[in-house]
Structure 1
Amino acid sequence: MDQIIIIIIVAVVALAIGFFIAKLLERNNASHVVKEAEKNAASIVKEAKAEAESIKKDKILQAKEKFIELKSEHEKVILKRDKKISEAEKRTRDKESQVSSELAKTKKLNAEMESKQKDFDERLDMLEKKRTEVDKLHRNQIEQLEVISTLSAEEAKKQLLESLKDEAKTDAMAYIQNTMEEAKMTAQQEARKIIINTIQRIGTEEAIDNCVSVFNLESDDVKGRIIGREGRNIRALEAATGVEIIVDDTPEAIILSCFDSVRREIARLSLHKLVTDGRIHPARIEEVVRKTTKQIEDEILEVGKRTVIDLGIHGLHPELVKAVGRMKYRSSYGQNLLHHSREVARLCGVMASELGLNPKLAKRAGLLHDIGKVPETETEMPHALLGMQWAEKFGEKPEVCNAIGAHHDEIEMSNLLSPIVQVCDAISGARPGARRQVLDSYIQRLKDLEDIAFGFNGVTKAYAIQAGRELRVMVESEKVSDDKAAQLSFEITQKIQTDMTYPGQVKVTVIRETRAVNIAK
């Protein structure tokens, strides 16, 4: 037990001694570390001071350099400003010297002007005095002339003006007459040249349309079947088509008569289908006529489309295309209306090209000029005005509408296409063989024209020429003066308009000749 206590005491003492020794060693190490740290701090401070001195010197040098640079820039600005000030002072001095010289010149000019004004005033006074003297002398001369001529100055002036006016009027009338004659000759030559070239370039065959069609039969036995029991088949066919069917003794033929070509064509095709099929009775007739009518309507539309394509016309309204197709089954004085309109369209295109106008627009107006002749319902309105209304309704240009409405002078022409269409329409209708009229009525109309002319005093001869389109009247120069000749032409035209019915226009030309005849013996 005691040994254990001793061991513990010894251990405690040893532990205390070790702790004391450790503390001593730690203190020595700490002092050594502190000294090292102080030494390092002193060296760091020394280095920092040295570096601070270096930086301070650099900054001072940079500041000096910046100051020197700013000073030099400031000196440059000062020098530049001083230079500008000196230049401005120099310009000011130059202007002052210039102004002073100008003032000197102005003073000099003013002095000269004053002297010239004074001289001018003196001359003006002298001229006034001389003018007064001249006026006095002029009045004295006029008074002497009035005494000598027994006329006042106003009367003499009036007579002189009248004579000069008459002379000027005569010269002006002569000049105007010569100019007009020359212009007429030139215009007629050019117009004749264009028209002849156009006619020569457009050559078409003429085909006269009849008002009857002949339907050929294989045998006369078919006639009885067409007539039917108590004529019921033929009555049904006439009622359905509106065509007069003439069954006479003509062998193997039936005549279809109607002025409407469409109805006549429907009747012909329907009759052909009925005869081919063999079933002919009223119900079958109505069915065939209905189908044929639809077929003809489709054909009309197809003909219209083909026509506008052939002529190179685009953008035409479908209703107008349909109207063009209906022209195939219309005739005017025996001339097929579609052939006539196609010819007029080509003539208008050629003539418009010769005159430097739009040929496509001219073709359009030429093709549509007679669409008023194919109305679906009858109307009392002239065909030209009706066609113009249709064209306006379906969006045609104003030039085309005016050309359609004015080609028979129902309205006033407002553009150059209108007279072209009128002329081409006349050319197409005037071709030999283009139109047909009954010979007796034609001769009677010409005779009536000449008789109207002979009904006026002073007329010696009268000739109806150009197929009745012109009436030439010869008058006696002793009984009819030039003014009376113009009046006579007007009176004859009025008489023709009131007493006669005729297609187109009639031109009345009154010719007055003065002849002087002497005989040398």
Structure 2
Amino acid sequence: SRVEEQLADVRDKLHERERHLDKRDDAVTSREDQLAKQEKMVESNQRRLTEKLADVDVRTKELENLLDVQRQALHKASGLGPEEARKMLLERLDAELSHEQGVRVMEAEKRLAEKVDAKAKEMLITSIQRFAAAHTAESTTSTVDIPSDEMKGRIIGREGRNIRTFEKETGVDVIIDDTPGVVIVSSFDPVRRQIAQLALTKLIADGRIHPSRIEELVVETTAEVEKLLVKYGEEAAQEVDIRGLHPKAIQLLGRLYYRTSYSQNVLRHSIEVAFVAGMIAEELGYDGDLARRAGLLHDIGKAADHDTEGGHPKIGADLLKRYGENDVVVHAALGHHDDIRVDMPYTRMQELEAIASGFAGVHQAFAIQAGREVRVIAKTNETTDESAAKVCRDIAKAFEEQLTYPGEIRVTMIRETRFTEMAKPGREIVQRALPGLIAERGIDLVVCNAENAASGSGYTPKIHAELMAAGVDAVTLGDHVYRRREVLPLLESADNVVRPCNLPAEATGRRWATVRTKDGAHQVLVCCALGQLFMKPIDSPFRAVDAALAEAPADVKVRFVDFHAEATSEMQSMGRYLDGRVSAVLGTHTHVPTADECVFPEGTAFQCDVGMTGPHDSILGRRVDRVLAATLTGVPHSFDVAEKDLRINGALVTIDAESGRATAIERVMVNEAEVEHRLSGEIHAIVRDATKVFVDAITRREEAAHKIDIVTLSRNGDTSQLDLCQRTKIWLGATHGFFVAEHHEIIIRLETFHRFDSERLGKAPRGLARLRGAGRKVEGDAVGAALGEQEATPRLEAESVPAEPLSFKQNKGRRQGRVPTEVDFADRSKPPQPKAVSLGRKEGGFREIVLCRDGL
């Protein structure tokens, strides 16, 4: 019965399976029917689509034919070809949409500017978040544990032999003090310190401490540490996924494991830089592998600081170049402290500037913002506001026609008129004193360092003209050479202005110049250079001067070098370096004259600093109160130019023209008192001669005119002019009369009369002499002494003669023995109150002298 039940269960399961299979068979059959129907629908739709496509092709051809017919009809009606019509349409669209384009461009630029900062911050934050390195600090000492203090004596050894051997082999200092249980190893070289620490630990564990064992263990430990260095370098390269490093580079990377900088392990710092640089490069779409390589190796020069001279950027760049690294990696090591000058050709920007500078009326052009904008400075005297606008449009059109560029270029035209007045105490003393100094000392050539001539900083064409008129033959400049942009055209055109020769080769101006002496008989080479110590980074002045001397004509024997340096040691080094190769090396820049003038054994004159020409009562030419206020308070003040106690400082060098060797050098210092004394003496002589002629004419009562020939004494040495003192004074006596004035054009007319009749006063013949310049008041006693008189002559003070011309006329109300006069302005618009000047009769001499603007 049990078997029957099992058979019955099996039969039921089989019947159930059959029913299930029947259902699946029915479903499959239904699915096949549906697929057949869908296939028929697809075929039907495909036929309809094919028919429609054919119909569309026919209709398209018909439309194209109709369009061709319409185009031909339009061309015939308008008289324009297809290209001409298209161009006209585009121009109309550009004109209509130009304003909208400008607005959209401005909006886009504004949105971009807002996004740039946010994007940069996001990139940096993301990079830092993705990698955060640990920072650890290490010291310059390491400690070694010892089992007992008795071990200290064994380490020291008999008479200190062990410790001396250990220090000699390892190059470290071993410090053994009262600290229990430790010995200190000290060294600034972390690799040596590590070797010493491991070697000492081994010695203590071994127990055999004597010189031979020390030498053996130090050699063994050094080899182990060298292997560790390679291991650390390879692990660092693997961590940042860098391959193909030179074995020496790997070993140097390992040495960085033992170096610290600003309390951070240098190897970990390099790994961190590698990761951050790679992430930023990938965010910007650059080569991340190359950036990581540059970041990992940028500080590799620190591993060789003790073996090679120079800073670690240069050492690292030299090593990487030797190991065949990519130029980008070498540049990263060399420039990661921003101590190299960017010297890349910006051809496109130069083309923009060249095109703009070629237009008439353009003074200078500058391409900025990576060539997106060109700023053009117009020549004020050659352009107007209207013509400047036209030039601006022409420049923009030239850019469109001659250059291919993405985006837009904005052209900005700048036209301005400036009026500038500058303090000039230094130039004033030069103009007053230099001509007389040249004549008195027989000077053949004057070289002037004028870098601070323009109100204490810079140089301008106007100042150049003033110095040339005063007698300067050549001008050298210093580190303020480009402080004023007006100097650039002068540097390009003047053949006697020299800029420092160790500036970059592209800098405007001459590196050296040859100038002739005042008599034209000899040529002199003039050169100047900037120092390096305590000044801005610049090329070597020694090599630059060598190059300038090599370029100069060999037949010019007399050679002068102005060394614009700060450090005395560098100045003296330059003098010794050029001894026998130049005639003189004179220092400038520090403003204070030194007392070390000498002629070196090979014939080169030298002085560390010739000093400053200008106000001596100052701090380096600036007002004392201003400099002290800024120094004591820390608050910035305007350093105004001082104006008191003017002096000329310099050096007078005597040179053999045939050999170019200096034979003597002398310090020169001329102050205001000496200048005034010299001028006063010449004024006395002029007044004496004029007075004698005047007295002789009156004594003889001659009718003929008498003209005085006055010796030339002036600022520029080519006119008969002399400045006298500002306050007018009149000295009157039996034999002479005169007045002295400053900053006014003074005219002395000599009057002689047929007879002393006041009615003929206005008809008298006249002789004329002019005096103008810059001197001081001449007192009556001095004048009397100049004329050979024993006592001072009586004098009458009168008001200063004004700058406007005056005239005089006779007063009808005459009295016996007197001729009252009326003094007034030639311009009658503002007549002053009448003033009378009357002088009593003088027996045996003249009757009266009338003073007015027009004469005596």
What range describes the TM-score normalised by the shorter chain of this pair?
0.3 to 0.5
Question: Relative contact order (C-alpha < 8 Å, sep 6+): which is higher?
Answer: 1
Compare CA radii of gyration and give the structure with the larger one.
1
Please give the TM-score of this superposition, normalised by the length of structure 1: 0.45
Is the strand fraction higher in 1 or 2? 2
Is the helix fraction higher in 1 or 2? 1
